[in-house]
Structure 1
């Protein structure tokens, strides 16, 4: 005889009421492949169950089952958490896969869109375009789900112009720890709404968003400047010129850019939301480091998103792999000084990385992101103008490769001014011992107080989510 279903399984099966494809359990021989679908194959996580609800009422019932059995809950939209936090981040959670929440509508009087939390960014772009040529700010990896993206920050090439993705959210439907289906906005459940905009994984399961939208820019200039060097140290002057450009407080907000290091080379890539004549008139091309290998293309909105997605796919693949990553955020006052660039890049030259699949990405931020006060939402990095992120893949991932990434991060910290800390929670790093402080900084105490009100038992939990105040 087989094992009897647990009380949790019986409860969740009752919510599903016999529906096929509603819940998967570890006893399924294809559980990891068909249900869990981990993004980072270096971090093994086995949820107690993965559930695919179809309605907010389903989500409510699932949460009630979890609380009745004292089991933690996490929601997954696209499933791109670097530490697999969408399936709990550690064994034994109830993972709620929002794949069925694909609803979409557009109010053509207000141009506000309602978007289901399981919609991936590639579909968000298409649906907004088809509903009247509208757009919001978001990242460019098409497989990322809006449920996590629009609640953790949501940075992308248009963020300097329009702000982060979460800055577009004006209302959300959310199921809270008591199983109630709530609305949250600037006028209803305002404290919860504030927390959802930056730290939602610890506060509830969002089922849909209402977002403000913009008209699509008619013309977009996309550029790439490729550099081939004999050594990493040779790229220091190119990086210095780029960092000086993106640190300019008068930099045109229509400009977004990344500097990407990879074996024996680098690329400066990005986007200008305007015409080629406006791009030239901005003075930006003259300030980028010279190279014979450059391309400049003019696209419409959809073409630009496809182009960005193709570039992103070269460095941060949509395919599940074993990988390791570190990151850090910089204000204008704690950027790495130019005198340190040569030594930093020379250090990279001297290391045995253990793999050829490594990238170090420096990503410009600031602009419109900083128009919202630091305490305006739970997302706290309003003063940051630059993020760095390392990303390395190993098949398998060796300790040598992890050591390279960790030690590069230590080199960055040593080169930066004292007390440089903090990073974007979208680049989640499970190795951080003070992750909550690094992700939410001065907003953490308020988040902990709100958590105590809305989720005192810490139902919505991953290894680095917000905890209730003592």
Structure 2
């Protein structure tokens, strides 16, 4: 049984050697389970890592015992049974943006269920609830909802991300302040549990499973299908950008203070999304206002950020706006291209935002620190709104009071991430994280080097998650190094 406080070091992962003593039985079972259709690949097969495993974070080498490609929930259930009966852990993979390769189990020897063939889609034109297969990528979700009646739902901006993981860890995006996170749109799911049963989970059926799935699914089951509420596509929107090139530490710190003060105004319209990105020589404030150009001009955003150059583009076409977001995400994250990187996250509520002194210290440190690479960035993402309206214990996703998330990245295109890169991000996060609050980390921005990861990802909801885990997955079939541990109820 895994230890919850397991600290996954890059060296340990690199050195890990899986025990494949049960692989002949596993291989026979999986081949039988996928006889009619679907596919399975095994460790040792030609081009296994490149064609089948497809790691996203190349800094963390992982070799699963097998990668399966089912075409139905029944095949998923059969795969889970094969793995559990032969003592293997299981992890689902949907898309490929797993920061710590937890979609590949996180350590060697897991059985991976790649959901890419689960592409079912339908729309109920009365309730406007959509049914979406969990292998559907976000880019396809957007297109299919558009084609089914001009509908939309909140989710992130990277089109290559899979809905199976994204919908169940949170799923924040530009419209979340208005409509909630992706998981807030889920009204029902089809889930394969550790005992290989296939169940429906909703507010009225298998409620504990439904609660856990909405924020922590990877440790509790494999969602094969979502039913989600949708809303009409937003109409006119204005995408804006304000840039400060070079600038002194003091100038950039001053601009950050103005931005933080602006987004922390509780009266600020929920139609506004905003992100501040800090690069080597540039500070960029970008975002979208979901309204007319006249309404946008009335906000007079530019006056809030002195000394910057600003632009604004009006979009009348929803797909055009989403495509523009995707291009921006590709520039920041490499468009889904695998690389060696390290990433961390932390969050602030409206009650513990950074002080002016902390902001000054941050920019002074950034300008003097050895970062180990020129390819790094800090992305501060404004949230709140609808996501703050929902009680902390309403779903497994615990960080309902977070107003501002930080995603920090350090990338090495030439080889493994260095200790210098890791130290830089660790120091940044430590110096700006409030000491009087528990450390909050977004479960979608996985940091495998973080001790007590489960506490940081699920906070006050962890105890209930561990109890549910003890009931529906006592043998820890669905496991990664930072997932909740099963606790048996007495």
Measured against the shorter chain, the TM-score band is: over 0.9
Q: Distance in 2 between matches of 1:467 and 1:4?
A: 24
| 2:420 maps to 1:400 | yes
Query: Contact 2:152/2:233 (CA < 8 Å) preserved in 1?
Result: yes
| Uncovered stretches (5+) of structure 1, i.e. residues with no partner | none
Residue in 2 aligned with 1:156?
173
The more displaced of 294-303 and 200-209 is: 294-303
Within the candidate set 385, 388, 410, 1:367 is matched to: 385
Whole-angstrom CA distance in 1 between matches of 2:307 and 2:435: 29
Contact 1:101–1:118 (Cα < 8 Å) also in 2: yes
Instruction: Give the structure 2 partner of residue 442 of structure 1.
Output: 460
Of 398, 406, 420 in structure 2, the residue corresponding to residue 380 of structure 1 is: 398
Q: Does 1:76 align with 2:98?
A: no
Distance 2:274 2:43 in 1: 43
Q: CA deviation at 1:293?
A: 4.2
2:160 corresponds in structure 1 to 143
Task: Tell me which residue corresponds to 1:354.
Answer: 372
- The answer (yes or no) to whether the contact 1:222–1:299 under 8 Å persists in 2 is no
Equivalence for 1:91: 108
Aligned residue for 1:340? 358
**Within 1, Cα distance between the matches of 2:479 and 2:22?**
27
Question: In the alignment, what sits opposite 1:241?
Answer: 258
Counterpart CA distance in 2 for 1:114 and 1:371 is: 26
Question: CA deviation digits over 1:133-156, x for unaligned, max 9?
Answer: 000000000000000011000001
- C-alpha distance in structure 2 between counterparts of 1:254 and 1:417, whole Å: 32
Residue matched to 2:127: 110
1:32-81 residue CA offsets vs partner (Å, 9 max, x unmatched): 11011011000011000000000111001000001100110000001211
CA contact (8 A) 2:438 2:456 kept: no
Does residue 1:259 correspond to 2:280, yes or no? no
Contact 1:425 1:439 in 2 (8 A): yes
Partner of 1:411: 431
Q: CA deviation at 1:4?
A: 11
Contact 1:142 1:309 in 2 (8 A): yes
Shift of residue 297, structure 1, vs aligned partner:
3.3
Equivalent-residue separation in structure 2 for 1:449 and 1:422 (angstroms) = 21
Q: CA deviation at 1:405?
A: 1.4
Aligned partners of 1:29 and 1:333: how far apart in 2? 54
Q: Tell me which residue corresponds to 2:287.
A: 270
Q: CA deviation at 1:328?
A: 0.4
2:41–2:68 contact (8 Å) kept in structure 1: yes
> Would you say the 8 A contact 1:233–1:343 is kept in 2?
no
User: Any unmatched runs of 5+ in structure 2?
Assistant: 1-20
Of 20, 43, 47, 1:30 maps to 47
Give yes or no for contact 2:274–2:382 (8 Å, CA) kept in 1: yes
Structure 1 residues 9-46: Cα deviation after superposition (integer angstroms, max 9, x where no partner): 11000101164x60111111311110110110000110
How far apart are 1:283 and its partner, in Å? 4.6
**Counterparts of 2:368 and 2:451, CA distance in 1:** 28
Residue in 1 that maps onto 2:229: 212
Deviates more, 1:352-361 or 1:58-67: 352-361
Which residue of the partner structure matches residue 196 of structure 2?
179
CA distance in 1, matches of 2:483, 2:173: 23
Quote the offset at 1:435 in angstroms.
Answer: 0.6
Deviation at 1:410, TM superposition (A): 2.1
Give the Å deviation of 1:417. 5.0
Alignment of structure 1 residues 194-205 onto 2, 5 Å: 194-205=211-222
- C-alpha change, 1:130 and 1:343, in structure 2 (3 Å) is same
Confirm whether residue 391 of structure 1 aligns to residue 409 of structure 2.
yes
Q: Which residue of 2 aligns with 1:323?
A: 341
1:294 partnered with 2:314 = no
Rate the CA distance shift 1:155–1:118 in 2: closer, same or farther, 3 A: same
The Cα of 1:5 is off from its aligned counterpart by: 6.1
Q: Which has the higher mean CA deviation after the structures are superposed, 394-403 or 185-194?
A: 394-403
Partner residue in 2 for 1:455? 473
Which whole-Å CA distance do the structure 1 matches of 2:404 and 2:438 have between them? Answer: 12
In 2, distance between residues paired with 1:128 and 1:423? 30
CA offset digits 1:189-237 (Å, max 9, x no partner)? 0111001000000110110100000000111110111110244443001
Counterpart of 1:187 in 2: which secondary structure? coil
Separation (CA, whole Å) in 2 of partners of 1:45 and 1:243: 39
Residues 242/420 of structure 1: CA separation in 2 closer, same or farther (3 Å cut): farther
Tell whether the 8 Å contact from 2:133 to 2:226 is kept in structure 1 after alignment: yes
Of residues 413, 428, 449, the one that matches 1:431 is 449
Moved more, 337-346 or 241-250: 337-346
Q: TM-score, normalised by structure 2?
A: 0.92
- SS of equivalent residue, structure 1 residue 390: strand
Please, which of 320, 323, 328 is the counterpart of residue 306 of structure 1? 323
